[in-house]
Chain A
Amino acid sequence: MSLNFSSPFFLFGLMGMSIPILIHLLTRRQQKHVRFSAVYLLSKSQKRSTKKSNPNRLLLLLLRCMGIALLSLALAGPFFSFGDSEAFRSNAPSSYVFIVDDSYSMRSRIKEKTLFESAIQFLSNLLTKIPEGSEFSLVLASHPARTDQDWIAQKNSFEKLIHGLQPSYKTTDIGHAIEKATHLLSTASNKKKNLILLTDLNENGWDKEVFSEVSNSLNTPLQVFDFSKLAMRKNQVSVESVETRQEFLARSRILKIKTKIKNHSQNNQRLPASLIFDKKTEKEILIDIPAGQTIAKEFSIPLRSGDTIQGKIKAGEDALLTDDIRYFSHKPNQNIKVLVVDGDPGTISHQSESFYLERALNPFSVSISHIDPTVSTLAELPLRSLADFSVVIFANVRELPVGYELELENFVLRGGALIFGMGDQIDAKYYNEKLGNLLPVTLEAAQKFKKTHLLFENNQHPVMRAFSAKAIQEMKEIPFHSIYTIQARDKKSFKVASWFTNKNPAILESDSGKGKVIIFLSSLDRDWNDFPIQPTFLPWIQRWTQYATRGLENFTQQNLLIGETFTQKIDKPNGQWAVRTPGGNLHLTVTTDGKTRFNKTNFPGVYTLFELPDKTLPETITKLPLGAQPIGSFTVNIDTKESSPQKLSNIKTFLPNLKVDIKNPELEVSQLPTSEGMRLATPLFLFVVGILLIEGWMIRKE
């Protein structure tokens, strides 16, 4: 059982008790002494007088002394506890674990500061009130939560550390932060321990599963300072996503940028949404978003060159600017040279296998689709140099020239792509014997079916992502009459990219060396199906061609979230890549097992990749060496889970067994948080008021 004070300095005020005593003594000296004759008459008169004179000076003195003493005690912030006196003595050294929420929701602005800056300021003020000899540690609560500073006893160093902190662009991870803090508390050297959380209580990041593990091992009361109470405006909008898409079937090159914007507020919003390239607003529109709704908007812009486009979408301007912006980058498709080998050329053009393919790959006979097909007969094949092409499509080819399979194998190993289309000319025996290294399956036989269709259930293949539901529905209705059945080869891996409704594979793909082999188990002309005359055939074959050349896997399309690792297959084993961050810093990527990785994706924006010349490089670089080639870019954006202005309503559900105290930082900044004990300041202040009233009454009566 003990009585402690949070501001013992005020106890010096007790010396103020001497003031009324001094006044009493001084006025006492001024009291006149008169030797008088009729004193008994005076006594008699005094008794008879209605004015009760002679106030009880001693009682008044006592009241005044008590008033001053109680005021000093109240200002000293006393708190009474039943615990260990030493441990809870306010000026006893303690161990403090501070959990600072540095997630991007703490970037919300209040007047000229962010919530995070207010939290740091508050923490700094708090430190001045912490008794000497205490130790501190710091846990940052953005995902992934981490111990930023282990126990440290030097208050100055710790203060420097916290002033150097910056809010991140990550989401909140309170559960793991408390887990880290629990671990720190178990290694604390002082008996008195404090766990202080500075957060905006954003609903995101409070994971019940994590807390269920933590709450049993944590026994230090948690003091939460809720900075969201300082925020005057709530977050209203966030840009949820940005997708870029290049149009098929267009006469001009058009880039479509589709964005989704969410209104988090309770009111309908009308706000400007801008498309910005290089700090210049390209387009601006006004959009109306109903309360709590997300709406999608699409910007269309002409592609003027083949250079990578980098930009951002900005919507509105609210308290949290971080989520009002989302970055994107787009690399226009490169021209792909395709060699179409027609295995069954007809005298009438439209009866040729290549008729539909050629038109589907380049519908306007100019390079608008970025695919440049060259049709060749089987006889012409040995005359062509495969190195000039990225993709070779074999449409209903019976067999290849002698020894040509070896050339194809080399072509694929170097990175070329092969697409095989079936037909009645196909010699399954030849394919199975000669193309064993290229084909992961053996062809069985062409089978006729009454009717079968392509199956698109749960088809997440990259090729199919561009297709709308309507287009897929149209493709589902296309009848297929004949298909080749297959048998898997031993020790060969392949993927079935698409199935027929009769449970036969429709499209197979396998990687071989750096290249790709794709087999379509029906015909690419109208012999076995009506697909080539459907509008969907055009984008379908174009996308498969691009996919075959890995055009769809281009990392320019990679849209990462803050903290995610950029990963890319690297062709050259000794190749070295560098990344330029949005801030302009250069970092080298780390390459292991044929993949290069970059994990310092801590800021939103467009990251540019460079291939460095093959030579030994230092571990870090400050400027790009000569010969460095830009090879693409990827974007990193914030995770909008954190954008919701919804605040956590009940912490108790997360920590049912723990004493949790939620405080308003603005009011508490002058007070050292005291985890234990009953505060006595208020009753003492009431006593002081009572004493003042009694004193006033007594003086008035006098």
Chain B
Amino acid sequence: MENASSNFDPQVLARISSLKITATNMVDGILTGQHRSRHKGASVEFAEYKDYSPGDEIRHIDWKVAGKTDKYHVKQFEQSTNLKCTILLDASGSMAYQSPFEKGESKIDYARNLVAALSYLFLKQFDAVGLTLFNDAVVQHIPPRSKASHLQHILHGLSTLSAKGVTQIENVLSGLAERLQSRGMLILVSDFLTRDQDIHKSLKLLRSRGLEVILFHILHPDELNLPFDGDTVFESLEDDPTVGLDPIDIREEYQKAIQEKIAQLKKISNGLGVDYVFMDTSIPLQQALSYYLLKRKSLIKI
């Protein structure tokens, strides 16, 4: 009943359609035919021909047909994949941060769009994609499916999530490591604003199981720069004690601390062969995502 009621929640419905539009526009616009799974499917079934257009793989040109017709046709295949991607989305309280200066996107909205876009991308490539929402434990788990209609489940899951609770990435990752299929993909979307020191250990475990891991580190510019001034009481979105201070006094220290945190995460990622993507919510998601995907593509080419 709960699901049914939430299904008909107009807000949720609106959010779903909005997510869908955003995700499809974005992915269609920037990625059509450009993204490839690094894990090729076991069988490739011919589907149809298509006129060659610049940018198509030359090796896919059907030279026989070209010999007969003097026209270049490219063979297209029904691609099947065994890639299973699980997107872990941080739904803790800290993700709900909304800047008092602008009514821009909160991190959670930014992350929603990101996850929706990625899901669409995967599904479009016929990869199975699943979504796990967590804070200190798993809040919701949508197992990976490759059906196109699966996007609806994911979008629904995204739309209904509310960011609250404390972040405990380590616990969640440890729990998931056992359940996830090896050689799959794990995308972790979080602000990593947690006191956990052992994220390194968890990531190492995942990597040891042959999982490809991508970290999307989403931070709001306020969290990077601490632009507040005047006597301010900072109330935690999670469970930290309230702090009253003048931000000017500690701005430098804070900026140093957050940069250290980013650097540390980057370092860990590099060390473990984990893909680390830093995302600043002030940069439009499309721009950030296309940049990342292009970069990734170039990586593959190499």
Chain B residues 208-236 with CB under 8 Å of chain A are: 220, 222-223, 226, 228, 230-236
- Residue B231 contacts which of A31, A40, A45 (CB distance < 8 angstroms)? A31
A35 interfacial by beta-carbon distance below 8 Å:
yes
A27 interfacial by beta-carbon distance below 8 Å:
yes
Assess whether B249 is in contact with A36, with CB atoms less than 8 Å apart.
no
- Residue A49 contacts which of B228, B242, B249 (CB distance < 8 angstroms)? B249
Q: How far is the CA of A45 from the CA of B246 in the complex (A)?
A: 12
Q: How far is the CA of A49 from the CA of B95 in the complex (A)?
A: 26
- B230 proximity list for chain A (CB < 8 A): 30, 32
Assess whether B231 is in contact with A27, with CB atoms less than 8 Å apart.
yes
Assess whether A45 is in contact with B257, with CB atoms less than 8 Å apart.
yes
Minimal beta-carbon separation of B246 from chain A (angstroms): 5
A48 interfacial by beta-carbon distance below 8 Å:
yes
Assess whether B232 is in contact with A39, with CB atoms less than 8 Å apart.
no
Assess whether A40 is in contact with B254, with CB atoms less than 8 Å apart.
no
- Residue B232 contacts which of A34, A38, A40 (CB distance < 8 angstroms)? A34
Assess whether A43 is in contact with B232, with CB atoms less than 8 Å apart.
no
- A36 proximity list for chain B (CB < 8 A): 97, 222, 234-237
Assess whether B246 is in contact with A53, with CB atoms less than 8 Å apart.
yes
Assess whether B235 is in contact with A38, with CB atoms less than 8 Å apart.
no
A280 interfacial by beta-carbon distance below 8 Å:
no
Assess whether A39 is in contact with B234, with CB atoms less than 8 Å apart.
yes
Assess whether B250 is in contact with A32, with CB atoms less than 8 Å apart.
no
- B127 proximity list for chain A (CB < 8 A): none
Given A31-B231, A38-B223, A41-B257 in contact, is the A53-B243 Cβ separation under 8 Å?
A: no
- B231 proximity list for chain A (CB < 8 A): 27, 30-32
Number of B residues with CB within 8 Å of any CB on chain A:
39
Given A34-B100, A48-B253 in contact, is the A42-B228 Cβ separation under 8 Å?
A: no
A465 interfacial by beta-carbon distance below 8 Å:
no
- B244 proximity list for chain A (CB < 8 A): 31, 54
Assess whether B250 is in contact with A49, with CB atoms less than 8 Å apart.
yes
Q: Which of B97, B222, B231, B235 has the most CB of A within 10 A?
A: B231
B74 interfacial by beta-carbon distance below 8 Å:
no
- B249 proximity list for chain A (CB < 8 A): 46, 49, 51, 53
Given A32-B230, A32-B233, A34-B100 in contact, is the A39-B250 Cβ separation under 8 Å?
A: no
- B195 proximity list for chain A (CB < 8 A): 40
Q: Which of A27, A34, A44, A49 has the most CB of B within 10 A?
A: A34
Assess whether B228 is in contact with A34, with CB atoms less than 8 Å apart.
yes
Q: How far is the CA of A49 from the CA of B245 in the complex (A)?
A: 12
Minimal beta-carbon separation of B280 from chain A (angstroms): 14
Interface of B, helix, strand, loop or mixed by DSSP: mixed
Minimal beta-carbon separation of B196 from chain A (angstroms): 11
Assess whether A38 is in contact with B258, with CB atoms less than 8 Å apart.
yes
Q: How far is the CA of A493 from the CA of B237 in the complex (A)?
A: 129
A305 interfacial by beta-carbon distance below 8 Å:
no
Q: How far is the CA of A37 from the CA of B97 in the complex (A)?
A: 6
B67 interfacial by beta-carbon distance below 8 Å:
no
Binary per-residue interface labels of chain B (180-211) against chain A in the complex, 1 for a CB within 8 Å, 0 otherwise: 00000000000101010000000000000000
A700 interfacial by beta-carbon distance below 8 Å:
no
Minimal beta-carbon separation of A30 from chain B (angstroms): 7
- B237 proximity list for chain A (CB < 8 A): 35-37, 39
Given A34-B100, A38-B258, A39-B234 in contact, is the A46-B223 Cβ separation under 8 Å?
A: no
Assess whether A54 is in contact with B246, with CB atoms less than 8 Å apart.
yes
Q: How far is the CA of A38 from the CA of B245 in the complex (A)?
A: 14
B240 interfacial by beta-carbon distance below 8 Å:
yes
Q: How far is the CA of A49 from the CA of B258 in the complex (A)?
A: 15
Assess whether B235 is in contact with A42, with CB atoms less than 8 Å apart.
no
- A39 proximity list for chain B (CB < 8 A): 234-238, 240-243
Chain A residue nearest in CB terms to B236: A39
Binary per-residue interface labels of chain B (155-197) against chain A in the complex, 1 for a CB within 8 Å, 0 otherwise: 0000000000000000000000000000000000001010100
Minimal beta-carbon separation of A539 from chain B (angstroms): 109
Chain A residues 11-51 with CB under 8 Å of chain B are: 27, 30-46, 48-49, 51
Chain B residue nearest in CB terms to A51: B249
Q: How far is the CA of A35 from the CA of B261 in the complex (A)?
A: 21
- A49 proximity list for chain B (CB < 8 A): 249-250, 253
Minimal beta-carbon separation of B139 from chain A (angstroms): 18
Assess whether B245 is in contact with A54, with CB atoms less than 8 Å apart.
yes
Assess whether A45 is in contact with B253, with CB atoms less than 8 Å apart.
yes
B94 interfacial by beta-carbon distance below 8 Å:
yes
Q: How far is the CA of A44 from the CA of B233 in the complex (A)?
A: 15
- B222 proximity list for chain A (CB < 8 A): 36
Binary per-residue interface labels of chain A (43-77) against chain B in the complex, 1 for a CB within 8 Å, 0 otherwise: 11110110101100000000000000000000000
- A37 proximity list for chain B (CB < 8 A): 93-95, 97, 107, 191, 193, 220, 223, 236-238
Chain B residue nearest in CB terms to A43: B243
Assess whether A34 is in contact with B240, with CB atoms less than 8 Å apart.
no
Assess whether A40 is in contact with B235, with CB atoms less than 8 Å apart.
no
Minimal beta-carbon separation of A247 from chain B (angstroms): 104
Assess whether A34 is in contact with B234, with CB atoms less than 8 Å apart.
yes
Chain A residue nearest in CB terms to B195: A40
- A32 proximity list for chain B (CB < 8 A): 228, 230-233
Minimal beta-carbon separation of A57 from chain B (angstroms): 9
Q: How far is the CA of A38 from the CA of B240 in the complex (A)?
A: 9
- Residue B234 contacts which of A27, A42, A44, A53 (CB distance < 8 angstroms)? A42
Chain B residue nearest in CB terms to A44: B257
- Residue B245 contacts which of A35, A44, A46 (CB distance < 8 angstroms)? A46
Minimal beta-carbon separation of B257 from chain A (angstroms): 5
Q: How far is the CA of A36 from the CA of B246 in the complex (A)?
A: 14
- A35 proximity list for chain B (CB < 8 A): 97-98, 234-237
Q: How far is the CA of A45 from the CA of B256 in the complex (A)?
A: 9
Assess whether A41 is in contact with B245, with CB atoms less than 8 Å apart.
no
Q: How far is the CA of A34 from the CA of B234 in the complex (A)?
A: 5
Binary per-residue interface labels of chain A (452-469) against chain B in the complex, 1 for a CB within 8 Å, 0 otherwise: 000000000000000000
Assess whether A42 is in contact with B254, with CB atoms less than 8 Å apart.
yes
Q: How far is the CA of A32 from the CA of B232 in the complex (A)?
A: 5
Q: How far is the CA of A636 from the CA of B238 in the complex (A)?
A: 105
Assess whether B235 is in contact with A41, with CB atoms less than 8 Å apart.
no
Binary per-residue interface labels of chain B (21-36) against chain A in the complex, 1 for a CB within 8 Å, 0 otherwise: 0000000000000000
Q: List 18 A-B contacts (CB under 8 A).
A: A32-B228, A35-B98, A35-B234, A36-B235, A37-B191, A37-B193, A37-B238, A38-B94, A39-B234, A39-B235, A39-B237, A41-B257, A42-B245, A44-B257, A46-B243, A49-B250, A51-B249, A54-B246
Q: A34-B233, A41-B193, A54-B245 are in contact. List 14 more A-B contacts (CB 8 A).
A: A31-B233, A32-B233, A35-B235, A37-B223, A37-B236, A37-B237, A38-B193, A39-B235, A39-B237, A39-B242, A40-B195, A42-B245, A45-B250, A45-B257
| Chain A interface (Cβ < 8 Å from any Cβ of B) | 27, 30-46, 48-49, 51, 53-54
